[in-house]
A and B are shown apart, each in its own frame.
Chain A
Amino acid sequence: AQTVTQSQPEMSVQEAETVTLSCTYDTSESDYYLFWYKQPPSRQMILVIRQEAYKQQNATENRFSVNFQKAAKSFSLKISDSQLGDAAMYFCAYRMNDMRFGAGTRLTVKP
């Protein structure tokens, strides 16, 4: 079974600074997708970034980028120039057929 581990229950970052959220996963598959979702207090799940496992190039979306290490089964999210609106729960997710989520990391952004 696939498992996703987020070892940081909570993280804090100063506004305008950079923060990295960690995620590791376990799978025997070679073709899959990885995602970071953001869940603000409204609880609407918002896609932040996605990575196809067959692509070696790390995905980037504006201030958000990932460090995808396939051999190490690691998929960390870097948020640059953090903004107050980035404060939320962040979930790492693995998808081959269905989607499995990590436990989440609560990010606080300090003004």
Chain B
Amino acid sequence: GAVVSQHPSWVICKSGTSVKIECRSLDFQATTMFWYRQFPKQSLMLMATSNEGSKATYEQGVEKDKFLINHASLTLSTLTVTSAHPEDSSFYICSAPLGGPRGDTQYFGPGTRLTVL
């Protein structure tokens, strides 16, 4: 199956700093990638859709100035949490559909655990 990687797998930062998380599709191209957030014992909540060559689409209630998304190439999307605060601590997961934006199956990265002190 297709492989999606994320880096870093975990990160601890101080409040007020910015953290960048990378999502890469290793063996296929993805013009669209998705970013999710998952709190402990909860489901995945879609934050935004990352689009190569255009602006990301954010879900209602997600601050686009706080969660900056850049889809730099057909295999890389980055999520930057700006001025992080403890309430931003969470598990962030990206995914990419195989077969185009409406490809029938999404493949998920292993996730990034963010802890903001």
* Given A47-B105, A50-B105, A102-B43 contact (CB < 8 Å): yes
For A52, the closest partner residue in chain B by CB is: B104
Which among B34, B105, B106, B107 has the greatest number of chain A C-beta atoms within 10 A? B106
Interface size for A (C-beta < 8 A) is: 21
Instruction: Provide the main secondary structure of the chain B interface.
Output: strand
Partner of B43, one of A44, A47, A97, A104: A104
Q: Is B28 an interface residue (CB 8 A)?
A: no
CA distance in complex: A99, B43 (Å):
12
Closest residue on chain A to residue B106 by CB atoms: A99
CA distance A33 to B38 in the complex (A): 22
Q: Give chain A residues whose Cβ lies under 8 Å from the Cβ of B105.
A: 33, 35, 47, 50
Q: Are A91 and B44 in contact (CB under 8 A)?
A: yes
Question: Does B110 lie within 8 Å of A43, measured CB to CB?
Answer: yes
What CA separation (Å) do A101 and B43 show in the bound complex? Answer: 7
Q: Which residue of A lies closest to B93 (CB)?
A: A45
Cβ–Cβ contact A91 & B108, under 8 A: no
- Interface residue A98 (Cβ < 8 Å from any Cβ of B): yes
Q: Is A95 an interface residue (CB 8 A)?
A: yes
Binding site for A on B (CB under 8 A): 1, 34, 38, 42-46, 49, 91, 93, 95, 101-102, 104-108, 110-111
What 10 pairs across the A-B complex have the smallest Cβ distances?
Answer: A45-B108, A101-B43, A101-B44, A103-B43, A44-B110, A43-B111, A33-B104, A104-B43, A99-B106, A98-B46
